[in-house]
Amino acid sequence: MSLPVHLVDSLTDAVPGSVVEVDGDEAHHAVAVRRLREGEQVVLTDGRGTSVTGAVASTGKRFFSVTVASVSTDTRPEPAITVVQALPKGERGELAVEVLTEVGVDRVVPWAASRSVAVWKGERAVKSHAKWQATAREAAKQARRSWLPTVTPLASTADLAAVVADADLAVVLHEDATQPLATLDVPASGRIVVVVGPEGGIAPDELAELTDAGAHVVRLGAEVLRTSTAGVVAVAALLSRTPRWS
């Protein structure tokens, strides 16, 4: 059984035999909710590739410490995957972020597509973005990831042109596309971008702007998937053809 994972701000000075202290909400959840006890083995990660394994040395109400037994450093996975996720309605946004994090996505870009039912403005935008970030954080721990994914600020279609142009491979999922995703050459390194549209579909002008920036318009299959699940299916199909899953 995998050891529980907790996120910390920094592991810069962690070496075998040293003690790492964890406080705040992360420690409160571990001690009060998970009932973490002295002597229990845990993994701490900084979300930037460094992790330590060790035994809990002490606990408090919003505090626990770990005696480091071993330190490991993982390089950032290649190719890195960015998913541009059009804002879905209800809680489907958090579902999308959760499964994308679990499958190994490096970056999630919330997109205010013209046909998105949900709208992020003002206080709602701040709260919604925070929910997506919190979802990614918790899903990363559940998936035992040493690299924490990034949830960027809300992007417009104009912002996406730069994201697509900077990619080594960029695809837009579209139900009317004639080119199957499986026919594309998938790079073994660099950045792959997957654009997922809203429930109402990607508007023609948005599609034109993305293709002008270099994106390939592709389909997954005959079935039409929900916006909250299409991204993870596409990412899995792509990762299965890279060294990350071979």
Give span(s): CATH 2.40.240.20, the chain. 5-73
Give me 114's structure tokens: 């013209």
Instruction: Give residue 223's pLDDT.
Output: 86
Give span(s): CATH 3.40.1280.10, the chain. 80-245
For residue 1, what pLDDT band results from cuts at 50, 70 and 90?
low
What does DSSP assign to residue 147? Answer: B
**Residues pairing with 68 in the sheet:** 54
Give me 184's structure tokens: 């594309």
- Taking 90 as the threshold, does the pLDDT of residue 117 lie above it? no
Instruction: Give residue 141's pLDDT.
Output: 94
- Contact at 8 Å (CB) between 234 and 182? no
Q: How far apart are the C-alpha atoms of 95 and 112, rounded to whole Å? A: 17
Q: CATH for 5-73, among 3.40.1360.10, 2.40.50.1070, 1.10.3470.10, 2.40.240.20?
A: 2.40.240.20
Give yes or no for a cis peptide into 79 (omega within 30° of 0): yes
Element (H, E) at 142: helix 122-142
Instruction: Give residue 43's pLDDT.
Output: 97
Q: Report the CATH architecture of 80-245.
A: 3-Layer(aba) Sandwich (3.40)
Instruction: Give residue 221's pLDDT.
Output: 87
Length of the chain, please? 246
What is the β-pairing status of strands 41-45 and 50-60? antiparallel
For residue 160, what pLDDT band results from cuts at 50, 70 and 90?
very high
